[in-house]
């Protein structure tokens, strides 16, 4: 998709099997919403074709595509009841009037709003309004459900509850779903497949676990999760293992890029996730970690289920973010305290600069 001289979406090609839940994830301006709007029919691609159930639809207007949509702004009719909102797309599509009440009730029950059918929109909570929007998008049984950041305006607790609710409904109905979000947790929780986009291009498409554990490049590694980046110069390599020099010390890593391991002297970046770093009062407490370092705690933030540390390495100016997911098992390190850190080569995902 081209706007002037700029590619909002470039070479974005993917297939999604029927009944799967796909989330398109990326920062603002990455092209994810433009891609969704092209699928919906609100924008026509500058080149290429969109095919749904084997039928090219790029020339078809939105109302000619069998697509249900839920937007961030739900666009519910405030003067109507929940049931009337859900019935609206059926009436517009000229469904048999005698079948509409039963179908509406079935989908309100599906989203657990059966007893609220006669309530107007302003009488419903934010989460209940979301459920009405879901029922309205699904009631005519579309081939495809599109979700455009519908949970972005909700508070964290309600958003997490609705993420699980989306997943339950999608699995129960088996409707093919494409979701757009910038919420990393949402993408990992609800999806069968995740697409990560940047600068209009698909950087990776994979199941959530593979996206998190085996990011295709440094951008994906940095966008999903909290990742420390360590730049250096290749010293040696053997198979997928690569050693690079950074800050006067050698760090062992694992090569993750598709191309061959670069020659000695090449610039690389190691990506080390915050939760992969082990902490101890001394190096003797790190067990069999291949790499060990000492550092000074610059900040410690208690978040309930974990403590987040900001630690400055003693050997260089590098600072590492470290997650301690078991803060009750040992003492919490204080600001200014010296700690030992350890990790293994497989934890340092290494990519070309």
Q: What is the pLDDT of residues 201-232, one digit of tens each?
A: 999 999 999 999 999 999 999 999 999 999 99
The DSSP secondary structure of 112-174, one letter per residue, reads T-GGGTT-BGGGS-HHHHHHHHHHHHHTT--SEEEEESTTTTS-HHHHHHHHHHHHHHHHHHT
Domain residue ranges in the chain: 2-219, 226-352
Q: Would you tell me the crossing angle of helices 126-138 and 156-173 to the nearest 10 degrees?
A: 20
Instruction: Specify the pLDDT at position 328.
Output: 65
Instruction: Specify the pLDDT at position 1.
Output: 46
Q: What is the pLDDT of residues 28-62, one digit of tens each?
A: 889 999 999 999 999 888 888 999 988 899 888 88
Average model confidence (pLDDT) across the chain: 90
User: What are the tokens at 121?
Assistant: 């929109």
Q: In what order do the strands lie in the sheet with 193-198?
A: 67-71, 144-148, 176-181, 21-25, 193-198, 201-206
Instruction: Specify the pLDDT at position 5.
Output: 56
Cβ contact 82:136 at 8 Å: no
Reference 43, options 139, 197, 141, 146; nearest CA is 146
Share of the chain above pLDDT 90, in %: 64
Question: d(Cα 194, Cα 53) in Å, to the nearest integer?
Answer: 20
The CATH number of the domain covering residues in 2-219: 3.40.50.300
Same fold? 2-219, 226-352: no
The CATH number of the domain covering residues in 226-352: 2.40.50.100
pTM: 0.88
Backbone angles phi, psi at 116, to 5 degrees: -105, 15
Average pLDDT over residues 301-306: 86
Q: What is the pLDDT of residues 64-76, one digit of tens each?
A: 888 999 987 888 9
Q: Residue 302: CB partners within 8 Å, gap ≥ 6?
A: 327, 332
């Amino acid at each position: 998709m081209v706007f002037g001289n700029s590619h909002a979406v470039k070479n974005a090609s993917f297939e999604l099997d029927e009944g799967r839940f796909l989330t398109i994830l990326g920062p603002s301006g990455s092209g994810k919403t433009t891609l969704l709007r092209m699928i919906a029919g609100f924008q026509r691609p500058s080149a290429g074709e969109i095919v749904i159930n084997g039928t090219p639809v790029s020339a078809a207007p939105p109302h000619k595509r069998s697509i249900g949509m839920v937007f961030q702004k739900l666009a519910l009719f405030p003067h109507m009841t929940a049931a009337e909102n859900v019935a609206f797309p059926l009436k517009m599509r000229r469904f048999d009037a005698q079948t509409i009440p039963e179908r509406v009730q079935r989908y309100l029950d599906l989203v657990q709003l059966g007893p609220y059918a006669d309530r107007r929109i302003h009488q419903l909570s934010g989460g209940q309004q979301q459920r009405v929007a879901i029922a309205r998008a699904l009631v005519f049984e579309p081939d495809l459900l599109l979700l455009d950041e519908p949970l972005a305006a909700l508070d964290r607790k309600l958003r997490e509850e609705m993420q699980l609710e989306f997943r339950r409904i999608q699995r129960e109905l088996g409707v093919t779903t494409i979701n757009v979000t910038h919420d990393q947790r949402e993408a990992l929780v609800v999806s069968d497949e995740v697409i990560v986009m940047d600068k209009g291009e698909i950087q990776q498409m994979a199941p959530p676990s593979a996206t998190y554990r085996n990011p295709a490049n440094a951008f994906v590694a940095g966008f999903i999760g909290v990742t420390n980046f360590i730049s250096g110069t290749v010293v040696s390599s053997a198979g997928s293992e690569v050693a690079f020099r950074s800050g006067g010390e050698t760090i062992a890593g694992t090569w993750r890029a598709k191309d061959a391991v670069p020659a000695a002297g090449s610039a690389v970046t190691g990506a080390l996730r915050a939760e992969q770093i082990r902490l101890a009062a001394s190096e003797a407490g790190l067990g069999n970690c291949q790499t060990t370092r000492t550092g000074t705690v610059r900040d410690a933030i208690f978040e309930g289920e974990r403590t987040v540390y900001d630690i400055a390495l003693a050997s260089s100016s590098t600072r590492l973010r470290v997650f301690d997911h078991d803060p009750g098992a040992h003492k919490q390190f204080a600001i200014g305290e010296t700690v030992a850190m350890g990790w293994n080569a497989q934890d340092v995902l290494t990519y070309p600069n």
